[in-house]
């Protein structure tokens, strides 16, 4: 059988009244398209495409069970809303009759964005503006009933089950921990009282929906809170919901307010699965694990270790809707792997945009961006095999065009070859593996070590020429910039430049931060070693103190270099980094003693070091090495030279615009052009 490598992954799971056809769950993700006008149609396409590609069970994004417990459009509270949800469940079941889809019921509690929000006690979340309203006994009864009614509506809408979220700082979890539950009635005090709300919701839901409907419950397996849940409380809760009628227990790690990364790219793959494994030993129903499981071999390994019965993958399903089918067919080298960057998914949601994916711009755009077979085959030249050139070439050739890809260096990847060397960015290797393979699959004619020149391009008989030649680093106009102490980031990252013990970095954008990480890092990358990751972030997997973190001090390892990270802007250094990951970089570098200085005016560089004015006061950075990370300029010469020959060409990626360039924009722009050309 083609999928023998993933024997456990493709073993069906019998729940008694129904069977999940394999062990892959598409985890719950709010995408933001729930709030768009044609939400149901878009969601239907989004989920159906994954179902058609063999996902065992889909969990939708969270939906509120009532007005006080819903955020924007994602809710299921009335009969009228059932019809919209029918569009989704019908699409999924007609794409794959044996695929399951469950509605996630998410009552945000104090994480609701309005004055209506409710909680066990009137305690404001540190990440929200509103103080929630304290529920009285009647209010608690209503919340429980509304959960049960929501599940009944889900059943009417054609869902195969529900997942109730009991974690992350949402309503149910705020009953569980003392810091958000100060009640003295039967819903507060002892742990038995604090978990009563969760158990009661499951029991009432089971009574309302009958025995042949899936109920999954998500427990805060390790909530990453100081004073959070003890391991035996997690077990008590999981056993409580099992006894109340849950079919599946799913493990969740973190509350949204926790200062510990649990899904970012520097988190090792499957870092938290062992916690699920310890819970699984105490239960007789199946357990789901999640977090940083992005490839089928990792999923199979988690199952083989007995850490879970089912594996949940969320973002990997944005990155590649065909992940499961490709694993089944032995085409795992064609999987477009989620690199856990959060740039296009979570960072979008937190800045008011709907989610998509850096490596797959079609994610959540299934109704509008499609790579259809060409009607007129063209001969296309692409210059530069960085992310933009690779995305363009693979999509255009996949559609049927004849693509020749010129790359001046001896390998594909462009700047991703720098990114992959940064500790914590190892996943970029996967993107290069994916593109390398797809060039073969689609028959792109790759010409390495070949600098495209205007003459051969103009004379090559191409119907279209696409310039994806990237950027050149900016060489800022500072007196003494050619001093021997000054080096560029490319030479530093490639290990070609000597870096002394004292360093100033000019420029604190994404690359300045990455370079600071690179030169202050010591030993093995935490992303490759769960033990190092745990020490660095103060997590104790072995003893599982309350929340996994209570009383554990993060251990700092550093190369010992003294580093100053500088910018001219007067805003906080690192303010422009990604919403959901920037804080992890700022914390890491601060712990390593990196000095972040804003409001810097560069005066000159000489044997004494870097002379500056900082907020109008003179300051000398007496350093051995000065690394320039001052942004980039577009590589447009080729485009201009072609224009002089009256030869039109398209510009994409860094060659089009270097300001605010990132791989997300490069790949998105390239893919859209390739879809249209
Ligand atoms: P490039 O990647 O610069 O590729 C251009 C290619 O064209 C090169 O391979 C070059 O050799 C080739 N070329 C140039 N001229 C010619 C010619 N005449 N003939 C043939 N070939 C030619 N972005 C993110 O979104 N997230 C990140 O986390 C991230 N981290 C980064 C970390 C580092 C250390 C660096 C340096 C960059 C990072 N980036 C990140 C930025 C990202 O890599 C770039 O935005 C992206 O590579 C731009 O893609 P591109 O294809 O336009 O250009
Ligand atoms: P960048 O984010 O534009 O940062 C450039 C830095 O150089 C800024 O700190 C800027 O700050 C400074 N600068 C600009 N012009 C200067 C000049 N003339 N003299 C001195 N300093 C100057 O660019 P980048 O760091 O080179 O990164 C390139 C792109 O790659 C980014 O846009 C980023 O999105 C992407 N990237 C992303 C990540 C990520 O984790 N998401 C990581 C790496 C790279 P001042 O003007 O205030 O001095
Ligand atoms: Fe994964 Fe990044 Fe895509 Fe989000 S944007 S799904 S983290 S690759």
Query: What one-character-per-residue DSSP string does 51-98 give?
Result: HHTT-SEEEEEEEBSSSTT-BTTBB--SHHHHHHHHHHHHHHHHH-TT
Query: Of 346, 361, 426, 469, which is best to mutate to test ligand 1, by the most ligand atoms within 8 angstroms of its C-beta?
Result: 469
Given pLDDT bands bounded at 50, 70 and 90, which one contains residue 35? confident
Atom of ligand 3 nearest to the CA of 356: 5
402 has pLDDT over 90: yes
Q: What is the pLDDT of residue 613?
A: 98
User: In this predicted structure, what is the pLDDT of residue 113?
Assistant: 82
Q: What average pLDDT does range 261-288 have in this prediction?
A: 97
**For the chain, what are the domain ranges?**
4-40+55-329, 379-472+634-676, 482-522+558-630
| Total residue count of the chain as it appears in this document | 677
Pocket perturbation via mutation, ligand 1, pick of 386, 445, 653, 666 by most ligand atoms within 8 A of CB = 386
CA dist 270 and 340 (Å) reads 12
Question: pLDDT grade, residue 2 (50/70/90)?
Answer: very low
Distance 405 CA to ligand 2 centre (A): 28
For residue 360, which atom of ligand 3 is closest to its CA? 3
pLDDT at 584: 95
Residue 3, pLDDT > 70, answer no
Q: For residue 384, which atom of ligand 1 is closest to its CA?
A: 7
> What tokens does 561 get?
């270099």
What is the Å distance from ligand 3's center to 397 Cα?
24
Looking up tokens 């712990």, which residue turns up? 591
Ligand nearest to the CA of 341: 3
Q: Which residues line ligand 3 (CB under 6 A)?
A: 315, 318-319, 338-345, 357-359
Q: Is 170 a catalytic residue?
A: yes
User: Ligand 3 mean position to 359 CA, how many Å?
Assistant: 7
Nearest alpha carbon, ligand 3 atom 3: 357
Distance 485 CA to ligand 2 centre (A): 21
Which ligand is nearest to the Cα of residue 657, counting in written order? 1
* Catalytic site residue from 6, 47, 159, 170: 170
Query: Contact, 68 vs 116, CB < 8 A?
Result: yes
Ligand 3 atom at shortest distance from the alpha carbon of 344? 5
Residues with C-beta less than 6 Å from any ligand 1 atom: 341, 343, 383-389, 406-409, 414-416, 418-419, 422, 451-452, 468-471, 493, 510-511, 514, 635, 638, 653-655, 661-664, 666
Residue 265 is given by DSSP the state T
Residue whose CA lies nearest to ligand 3 atom number 1: 338
At 580-595, the pLDDT tens digits run: 999 999 999 999 999 9
User: What pLDDT score does 33 carry?
Assistant: 93
Q: Whose CA is nearest to atom 42 of ligand 2?
A: 510
Ligand 2 centroid to residue 511 C-alpha, Å: 6
Ligand 1 centroid from CA 384, angstroms:
9
Q: State how far Cα 507 lies from the chain centre.
A: 26
Which residue, judged by its Cα, is nearest atom 12 of ligand 1?
384
User: What separation in Å is there between the alpha carbon of 532 and the centre of ligand 2?
Assistant: 29
- Ligand 3 centre to CA of 472 (Å) is 26
Q: What pLDDT sits at residue 1? A: 47
Quote the CA–CA distance of 55 and 51 in Å, as a whole number: 5
In angstroms, the CA 419 to CA 429 distance is 9
Dist CA 178 CA 422 (whole Å): 40
Residue from 341, 420, 511, 653 whose mutation best tests the ligand 2 pocket (most atoms within 8 A of CB): 511
Structure tokens at 643: 């224009």
Please give the average per-residue pLDDT across 321-331, as a whole number: 97
| Among the ranges given (69-83, 138-152, 290-304), the one the predictor scored with the smallest mean pLDDT | 69-83
* pLDDT at residue 566 in the model: 98
Judged by its nearest atom, the ligand closest to the C-alpha of residue 635 is 1
Report pLDDT for 636. Answer: 93
Nearest bound ligand to the CA of residue 362: 3
What pLDDT, on the 0 to 100 scale, is given for residue 293?
A: 98
Question: What is the C-alpha separation between 551 and 309, in angstroms, rounded?
Answer: 32
pLDDT of residue 144: 98
Q: Is 274 exposed, middle or buried (0-12, 13-18, 19+ CB in 10 A)?
A: middle
pLDDT of residue 299: 98
- Separation between Cα atoms, residue 434 and residue 331, nearest integer Å: 11
pLDDT at 619 over 80: yes
Euclidean distance between CA atoms 194 and 546, whole angstroms: 16
Q: From CA 357, how far away is CA 370, in angstroms rounded?
A: 15
| Average predicted confidence (pLDDT) for the chain | 96
Q: How many percent of the chain have pLDDT more than 70? A: 100
In the prediction, which pLDDT does 184 show? 97
* CA 406 to centroid of ligand 2, rounded, Å: 27
* Domain 482-522+558-630 grouped into CATH 3.50.50.60: yes
Q: Which of 476, 630, 634 to mutate to test the pocket of ligand 2 (most atoms within 8 A of CB)?
A: 630
Enter the tokens of residue 323.
């992940």
Q: What CATH topology corresponds to 379-472+634-676?
A: Rossmann fold (3.40.50)
- Check pLDDT > 50 for residue 420: yes
* Contact in structure between 275 and 544 (CB atoms under 8 Å): yes
Q: Closest ligand to 317 CA?
A: 3
Q: Is 493 exposed, middle or buried (0-12, 13-18, 19+ CB in 10 A)?
A: buried
Cα 434 to the chain's mean position, in Å? Answer: 18
Each residue of 278-304: pLDDT tens digit?
A: 999 999 999 999 999 999 999 999 999
pLDDT-based confidence at residue 72 (cuts at 50, 70, 90): confident
Q: Which fold has domain 4-40+55-329?
A: TIM Barrel (3.20.20)
């Amino acid at each position: 059988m083609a999928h023998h490598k993933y024997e456990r992954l493709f073993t069906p799971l019998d729940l008694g009244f129904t069977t999940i056809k394999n062990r892959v769950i598409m985890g719950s993700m709010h995408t933001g398209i729930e709030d768009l006008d044609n939400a149901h149609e878009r969601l239907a396409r989004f989920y159906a495409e994954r179902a058609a590609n063999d996902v065992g069970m889909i969990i939708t994004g969270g939906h509120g069970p009532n007005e006080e417990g819903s955020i924007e459009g994602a809710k299921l509270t009335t009969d009228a809303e059932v019809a919209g949800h029918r569009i989704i469940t019908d699409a999924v079941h007609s794409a794959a009759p044996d695929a399951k889809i469950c509605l996630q019921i998410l009552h945000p509690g104090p994480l609701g964005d309005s004055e209506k929000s409710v909680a066990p006690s009137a305690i404001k979340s540190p990440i929200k503006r509103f103080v929630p309203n304290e529920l009285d006994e009647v209010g608690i009864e209503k919340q429980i009933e509304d959960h049960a009614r929501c599940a009944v509506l889900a059943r009417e809408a054609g869902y195969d089950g529900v997942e109730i979220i009991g974690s992350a700082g949402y309503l149910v979890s705020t009953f569980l921990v003392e810091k958000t539950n100060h009640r003295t009635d039967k819903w507060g005090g002892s742990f038995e009282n604090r978990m009563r709300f969760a158990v009661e919701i499951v029991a009432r839901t089971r009574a309302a929906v009958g025995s042949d409907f899936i109920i999954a419950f998500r427990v805060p397996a390790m909530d990453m809170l100081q004073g959070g849940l003890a391991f035996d409380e997690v077990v008590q809760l999981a056993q409580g919901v099992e006894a109340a009628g849950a079919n599946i227990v799913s493990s969740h790690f973190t509350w949204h307010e926790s200062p510990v990364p649990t899904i970012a790219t520097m988190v090792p793959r499957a870092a938290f699965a062992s916690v699920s494994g310890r819970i699984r030993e105490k239960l007789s129903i199946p357990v789901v694990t999640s977090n940083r499981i992005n490839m089928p071999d990792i999923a199979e390994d988690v199952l083989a270790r007995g850490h879970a019965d089912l594996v949940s993958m969320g973002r990997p399903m944005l990155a590649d809707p065909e992940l499961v089918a490709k694993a089944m067919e032995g085409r795992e080298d064609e999987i477009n792997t989620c690199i856990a960057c959060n740039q296009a998914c979570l960072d979008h949601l937190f800045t008011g945009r709907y989610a998509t994916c850096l490596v797959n711009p079609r994610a959540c755009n299934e109704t509008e961006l499609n790579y259809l077979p060409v009607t007129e085959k063209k001969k296309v030249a692409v210059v530069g095999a960085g992310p933009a050139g690779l995305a363009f070439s693979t999509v255009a050739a996949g559609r049927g065009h004849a693509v020749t890809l010129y790359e001046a260096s001896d390998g594909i990847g462009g700047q991703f070859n720098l990114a992959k060397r940064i500790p914590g960015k190892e996943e970029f290797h996967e993107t290069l593996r994916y593109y390398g393979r797809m060039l073969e699959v689609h028959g792109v004619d790759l010409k390495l070590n070949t600098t495209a020149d205007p003459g051969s391009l103009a004379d090559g008989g191409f119907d279209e020429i696409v310039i994806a030649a990237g950027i050149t680093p900016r060489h800022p106009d500072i007196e003494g910039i050619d001093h021997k102490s000054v080096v560029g980031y490319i030479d530093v990252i490639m290990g070609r430049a000597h870096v002394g013990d004292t360093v100033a970095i000019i420029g604190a954008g994404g690359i300045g931060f990455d370079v600071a990480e690179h030169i202050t890092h010591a030993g093995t990358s935490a992303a490759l070693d769960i033990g190092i990751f745990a020490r660095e972030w103060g997590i104790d997997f072995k003893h599982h103190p309350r929340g996994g973190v209570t009383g554990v001090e993060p251990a700092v390892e550093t190369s010992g270099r003294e580093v100053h990270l500088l910018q001219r802007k007067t805003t906080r250094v690192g303010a422009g980094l990604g919403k959901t990951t920037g804080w992890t970089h700022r914390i890491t570098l601060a712990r390593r003693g990196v000095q972040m200085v804003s409001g810097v005016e560069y005066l000159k560089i000489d044997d004494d070091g870097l002379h500056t004015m900082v907020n109008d006061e003179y300051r000398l950075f007496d350093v051995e090495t000065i690394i320039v990370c001052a942004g980039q300029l577009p590589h447009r010469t080729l485009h201009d030279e072609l224009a002089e020959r009256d030869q039109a060409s398209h510009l994409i990626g860094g060659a089009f615009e270097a300001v605010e360039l990132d791989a997300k924009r490069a790949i998105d722009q390239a893919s859209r052009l390739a879809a249209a050309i």
